[in-house]
Structure 1
Amino acid sequence: MGYGWTTSNLTTVNFTYNGSIQYFPSLTKAETMAILMYLAELKLVVCFIKVKAHSNDHYNDRADALAKVDKDVRKCVGTILNYRRIETHLNHQSLGPIKQATKDNLIDWSLSAKWFDYNGRNDTTTIAHSKDTKWKIRCSTFSLPTKDILHQNFPLLLPADKLNCFFCNNILETNDHFWTCLQLRTTIVNIFKKLGQDLIDILANNADKHPLLINDSIKYSKTFRWAFQNEPIHPVVLLLMRSYITRDLVGIFRSHFNTTKAITTFYYHSSIIVV
């Protein structure tokens, strides 16, 4: 929603200002913002006179024209609805860890949304892209077809005494255990070491700033340190493997690129998440 103001008592010049507000806009919020910006810009002591709208007052009409910022109200409504959708989504009982990670500010939801929509294939209708999207959705919603889920759907096909992990055969196979099985740790460590080294090479060739700090910014980040230092796996790594873009990972890119566009471009180029 737009707002604006203009001066009416200066004979040689008129000062004007306009802007816009978002996230639950209202007339009161817009008018209050106009007043605050008027006081901040000109630092005046003022008195208020209410002018009836559309009363052919020249200066009121001019301020009204300034306030007509070209904004699509549907985008504002869409933002509000998106907040409601994500709140409903995170309130699902199986997504408790993701809701907690959101509260802990570990997930960059803006880039995560772009990643879920990202198509790394050459054709929008390719089967490979459909499989990529299915994998992202299942990983992020804890709905990979692990044995516990298969047992719920097909109890006769997969009986209760056959639900232990395929790899360790000691613990119930679940979407949580899938990423933390000790028998898979070496494989995952080697993957992250390779990803870390690939990312070092990409940043070394394309970074906008701090080229001398690239190696340390990666090998000592929460995303990669655990693999290089043989430490317990960090929660942000589990989020990353579940297709969420973490703030820690974005921080690595942000420390070496000047713009969000460059971060997004080289993030996709690095293919840091294995689909």
Structure 2
Amino acid sequence: MVNNKALSPIKQQIIDGDIDWSFTKEWLNSNDQDVPCSAKLSKRQGNRIKKCNFIYPTIDIQQRNYPRLYPLGSIPCIECTSARDDNTHVGLCKEHSIHIKNILMRAAHDLHEFIIENTKEGNFTLKDTIMNLPLFNTSFVDVLPQSHPGYLLIHHLVPSDLVKIFNIYINDKKLRFSLFLKFFSTLMSSIDTIIWTRRASLVKHWEHTLSITKNKKRFYRKRHKKRAPPSPDPGAPVHNSPPRRHYNPQHLTTTPYYRDGGFNDNLAHIRWTTSNYLHSGHWTTYRDNMGFNNIDLFLTLQNSFLKNVFDII
């Protein structure tokens, strides 16, 4: 992951262990639907994976995929207009700052109430423990620092700070995952609504001003096919091209193996391909070894040996 260029914005967090991958996996695979699979679930899980891998279709990716629909050059963020619109910028935009602060403060309060409700004994140090975590530090000015654990939340990654609370105060592992998903789904729903959905709505409105529609993207490949290479000039000199390999129809056989002369027994290949003797490689690697054409003779000798053994016994 450290060498993955797409994850370069969180490279240091990965090295420092600021991401809990086991809880992140639980979140990405979580299903709150009544059915094990559906188009809605696939879309929801797909969006989570794209966001945490920094490959969500922001304007820069749309511009790369549909170059004839979008303006040339670097396209700035629709909200702040001061930085290039890409996955890295989401969460770092100054227009997101106040929203992120409100989300973190609300999450700290809800987490305290949530743990109190689901534990039998009162925890007098719980509130202080939560507020002392870097995740819930809202003292940053102007924009969210990229090193802040809240930046991981924006991209659907679970910060280790949040997991600490559940590990400390929820002893049962199964219950811990269950309660975490219940709390985290509510938190991420607010992040998606306030950050991602709001942003997508603004981008969509901007695209409409450029007459960029969903249908134009859908049929883009069909309408903008690659131009065919120009026909060769009749007067141009002919260069010697490398010889082409032609398939000889005489070698077409009805079996997946070809062998001149055939076999003594048409059913021999069944015993040969299913033999435990060929455990060390694919059966085709043995075609030219130890009497492949004389498999019936090999079988006869084998049966004779076993017969002598049973006769002795």
- Give the TM-score normalised by structure 1: 0.61
In terms of Rg, which structure is larger?
Answer: 2
Match for residue 259 of structure 1 among 166, 172, 191: 172
Give the aligned residue type for 1:219: M
Between the aligned partners of 1:225 and 1:195, the Cα distance in structure 2 is 11
How does 1:1-275 map onto structure 2 within 5 Å?
Answer: 90-161=2-73, 163-207=75-119, 211-226=123-138, 229-230=139-140, 232-233=144-145, 234-270=147-183, 271=185, 272-274=187-189
- Which amino acid in 2 is paired with 1:155? P
Find the aligned partners of 1:166 and 1:217 in 2 and give their Cα distance.
38
In 1, are the aligned partners of 2:50 and 2:56 still within 8 Å (CA)?
A: yes
Provide the rounded CA distance (Å) in 1 between the counterparts of 2:170 and 2:12: 29
8 A contact 1:116–1:136 mirrored in 2: yes
Taking structure 1 as reference, are residues 90 and 256 closer, same or farther at Cα in structure 2, changes over 3 Å only? Answer: same
| Aligned counterparts of 1:156 and 1:218: Cα–Cα separation in 2 | 49
Q: Distance in 2 between matches of 1:225 and 1:210?
A: 24
Instruction: Report deviation, 1:90.
Output: 4.9
Q: Which structure 2 residue ranges, 5 or more long, are not aligned?
A: 193-313
Distance 1:210 1:246 in 2: 25
Distance 2:29 2:13 in 1: 21
Would you say the 8 A contact 1:236–1:246 is kept in 2? yes
Deviation at 1:96, TM superposition (A): 2.6
Q: Work out whether residues 208 and 256 of structure 1, in 8 Å CA contact, stay in contact via their aligned partners in 2.
A: no
Is the contact between residue 75 and residue 84 of structure 2 (CA under 8 Å) also seen in structure 1? yes
- State the one-letter code of the partner of 2:58: T
Aligned-pair identity (%) = 26
Alpha-carbon distance in structure 1 between the residues aligned to 2:43 and 2:98: 26
Report if the CA contact (8 A) 1:257-1:263 is conserved: yes
Q: SS in structure 2 opposite 1:178?
A: coil
Deviations 1:137-163 (A, max 9, x none): 111111111111111111221113571
Residue-by-residue CA offset, 1:70-128 (whole Å, 9 max, x unaligned): xxxxxxxxxxxxxxxxxxx5532212344432221111112222221111222222333
Does the aligned pair in 2 maintain the 1:209–1:256 contact within 8 Å?
no
Structure 1 residue ranges without an equivalent (≥5): 1-88
User: RMSD across aligned C-alpha pairs, in angstroms?
Assistant: 2.2
For residues 119 and 9 of structure 2, the distance between their equivalents in structure 1, rounded to whole angstroms, comes to 33
Contact residue 121 and residue 129 of structure 1 kept, 8 A: yes
d(CA) in 1 for partners of 2:113, 2:55: 34
Q: Distance in 2 between matches of 1:209 and 1:109?
A: 29
